[in-house]
Structure 1
Amino acid sequence: MVRSALVAVLMLVLPATAHRNNDDIFAIEADDSEARDLQWELENWLGDGSGGLGLSHSDARWWATKEWWYMETCGASIWYLKQLYSLLTHRFTIPYSQREALELMFAYAKKQLDPDQLFAMYHVLSGSHLGREKARARAAELLEKDASPTELSNLYRVMAMWLPDREAQETAMEVAAAGCEAEKFASFYQHFHDKNRAISEAISASFDRQAYRYAGDGKYYTASEFKDYFGSNWMAKWMASPAAQKVARDGKAYSASQFHDYFKGGWLSYWHEAKWATQRRVAEDGKIYTMAEYVNYFGSQWQQKWAKAPVALCQECTAASHA
């Protein structure tokens, strides 16, 4: 009765444009209920519930209270978090401690890192000169930069035919993060017999020239357009720029390289029919902003701020790409 009276009073004092019908109120209550469910599920799993991690009640509540909103915002489910935690504590050859794993689990979830892709990247890197311990951290870093573990593996193999082993590994990591296809590099290297020229041409030609990144002005361009505008400094600018994404039929946002990996042979037709994703992230004030809003507010610093910020589901998305 008290709540009903309060709602009635609020409806009287609010302007007509702010009035909500019963369906709106029920929708808000449903959203609140779902949010509370996620927080409860997270606390229960972290704590000593069935199949839980065994944290104390106070610790489980602290983590759940601190992280549930971010998990909801970035599209992370309990099932997904369990996959990440299992990877960090069991699948890696050198596992993390529980405390380290919890911190990394939430950090990786805020970047929407796919557990299977993360393990695949780690598997490729662990066989390099980095060693297994450094490979764990580098794997996440490369995935954040839109590198493909499949292409990285192929680049290792191709570059090792012409370059010293360590140089091949380092170069492969760099150009994988730039979105380079191994077969394109091989073709251009055989033609020019020049590593840097081959890299430049291969990045421009990769993924049917459909890879776009957002430059400092907040607009997306191809690698060739970056090259034409920035000249000799284009590669550094390209690497510092976030990849453009499109929303596929499954309601998830993918970059061109991810479309290529996930949809295989027919990826290009799926890419062309898809709509551009309005990407969003959580700023330091705890609010969600689009990329355009980041550009307008942060100016020349927007790319650095964007790179550090937690990922939110794009405006058109119905789920995260790892879901």
Structure 2
Amino acid sequence: MARSSLAMTLVMLMLPATARRNKDDTFIMQAGISEAPDLEAELSSWLREEGLSYADAGWWAQKESWYLETCGATLPYLKKLYEELTASRGIALPQGDAIPKMFDYAKKALDPVQLSNMYWVLYDCNHAYGHAKGLCQYPKEALEQAPALVEMGTSSKELLKLYNFMTDDIERPKKEVMEFAAAGCEADRYWSAYQATHHKLVAVDEAIRTSFEMQAFRYAEDGKYYTASQFKDHYGSNWLKKWSASPAAQKVAEDGKAYSVPQFWEFFKDDWLPTEAKVQVEGSKVGNAKAHCGGSGRMHPWHYAKSAKQPAIPPDQ
């Protein structure tokens, strides 16, 4: 026997029985794989607990488990999403509608509570937030628009507040308000600008450029992210259309999910960003956001969070 063949034989004897040799003379070690969590099996088991048949549960689990693992979705997250989609206090969908939407929303990593809150702002005629009036849409319309608004980083509370500020006795400009809120228009900034100018579009323009301490950035066609003011300087009168069509810069919170500035603000309120500490802008580029401590010694969430990866180029419009 040749020396190389003898050496290979010795290696084979030393390998565990679970090792296999492929046609490229490399070895695939399978030891320990059985100990890893099996999302497909766990998902199938949970779906059966929720009342799906063995065949249906297995079909959904086999179809979706790879995508969910790729997108980083966990079973507890799916359960929470399903709860918000089916609970009477949530969106209250029947199971047959909730299951496919659950998987669709999970691939987009939509926050379950934000999704439910957005739905109720759109659907309810008399919302609980400060006795404000909701947009009073049909359930089908609210269900179609809520995921898109959450995906764009829209704050449901800011949308509701802005809608009530912009409402008059003749018409409730629902589509227009949703577009402004999705663009990151802070309601109080709008109202302050409107009181000074009494011109709605001028007030919206100023509010979007100055909202959320000017910490909102979006990606331009060069793959870099800029403030709304920088978009206006570059694109001129067409800036708002470009801004609205561009992906919003996000940061990853402690739960491992990425959120926009309005969503951070909605959750953390006054503590989301110290007024004396801003993300520095150098020329047209955004500098690194460093962590800052307030008087209490706690990290302020927006500066502490890590930047999320974004698409290099905004979608074609």
Fold shared per TM-score above 0.5: yes
SS of equivalent to 2:184: coil
Q: In the TM superposition, what whole-angstrom CA distance separates every residue of 1:126-145 from its partner, at most 9, and x where no partner exists?
A: 12242233212211121111
The answer to whether the aligner puts 1:166 opposite 2:172 as a matched pair is: yes
Decide which of 24, 29, 34 is 2:36's aligned counterpart.
Answer: 34
Instruction: Quote the offset at 1:35 in angstroms.
Output: 4.8
Q: Once the two structures are aligned, what percentage of the paired residues are identical?
A: 49
The answer to whether the aligner puts 1:96 opposite 2:93 as a matched pair is: yes
Query: Structure 1 pair 208/94, CA: closer, same or farther in 2 (3 Å)?
Result: closer
Quick one: distance in 2 between partners of 1:239 and 1:112? 21
Decide which of 12, 16, 28 is 1:4's aligned counterpart.
Answer: 16
The answer to whether the aligner puts 1:87 opposite 2:84 as a matched pair is: yes
- What residue is the counterpart of 1:58 in the other structure? 55
Amino acid at match of 1:34: A
Decide which of 184, 194, 205 is 2:189's aligned counterpart.
Answer: 184
Task: List aligned pairs for 1:66-215, cutoff 5 A.
Answer: 66-91=63-88, 95-126=92-123, 127=125, 128-160=135-167, 164-167=170-173, 169-215=174-220
Q: In the TM superposition, what whole-angstrom CA distance separates every residue of 1:202-233 from its partner, at most 9, and x where no partner exists?
A: 00101100100112221111111111111122
Amino acid at match of 2:234: Y
Q: In the TM superposition, what whole-angstrom CA distance separates every residue of 1:257-294 from its partner, at most 9, and x where no partner exists?
A: 22212222121143234432224xxxxxxxxxxx34xx
Instruction: Quote the offset at 1:106 in angstroms.
Output: 0.5
Instruction: Quote the offset at 1:54 in angstroms.
Output: 2.0
Residues 91 and 119 of structure 2 are in contact (CA less than 8 Å); yes or no, is this contact kept in structure 1?
no
Q: In the TM superposition, what whole-angstrom CA distance separates every residue of 1:19-68 from its partner, at most 9, and x where no partner exists?
A: 99xxxx69x945x74352x1111000112xxxx12222222111101111
Quick one: distance in 2 between partners of 1:184 and 1:147? 16
Amino acid at match of 1:214: Y
- What residue is the counterpart of 1:44 in the other structure? 45
Quick one: distance in 2 between partners of 1:116 and 1:93? 9
SS of equivalent to 1:242: coil
Amino acid at match of 1:154: K
Quick one: distance in 1 between partners of 2:150 and 2:181? 10
* Bigger Rg, which one: 2
Quick one: distance in 1 between partners of 2:306 and 2:192? 31
- What residue is the counterpart of 2:315 in the other structure? 303
Which ranges in structure 2 are unaligned for 5 or more consecutive residues? Answer: 1-11, 126-134, 275-299
Which runs of at least 4 in structure 1 moved beyond 6 Å after TM superposition? none
Normalised by the length of structure 2, the TM-score is 0.75
Quick one: distance in 2 between partners of 1:212 and 1:261? 17
Amino acid at match of 2:36: E
Which ranges in structure 1 are unaligned for 5 or more consecutive residues? Answer: 280-290, 296-301, 306-323
Quick one: distance in 1 between partners of 2:303 and 2:91? 42
- What residue is the counterpart of 1:310 in the other structure? none
Query: Structure 1 pair 206/66, CA: closer, same or farther in 2 (3 Å)?
Result: same
Give the RMSD, CA atoms, in angstroms: 3.0
- What residue is the counterpart of 1:277 in the other structure? 308
Amino acid at match of 1:166: R
- What residue is the counterpart of 1:312 in the other structure? none
Normalised by the length of structure 1, the TM-score is 0.73
Amino acid at match of 2:309: T
Residues 215 and 221 of structure 1 are in contact (CA less than 8 Å); yes or no, is this contact kept in structure 2?
yes
Quick one: distance in 2 between partners of 1:217 and 1:29? 45
Quick one: distance in 2 between partners of 1:94 and 1:212? 31
- What residue is the counterpart of 1:223 in the other structure? 228
SS of equivalent to 2:223: coil
Q: Which has the higher helix share?
A: 1
Q: In the TM superposition, what whole-angstrom CA distance separates every residue of 1:111-135 from its partner, at most 9, and x where no partner exists?
A: 1111211111111111224223321
SS of equivalent to 1:166: coil
Residues 216 and 303 of structure 1 are in contact (CA less than 8 Å); yes or no, is this contact kept in structure 2?
no
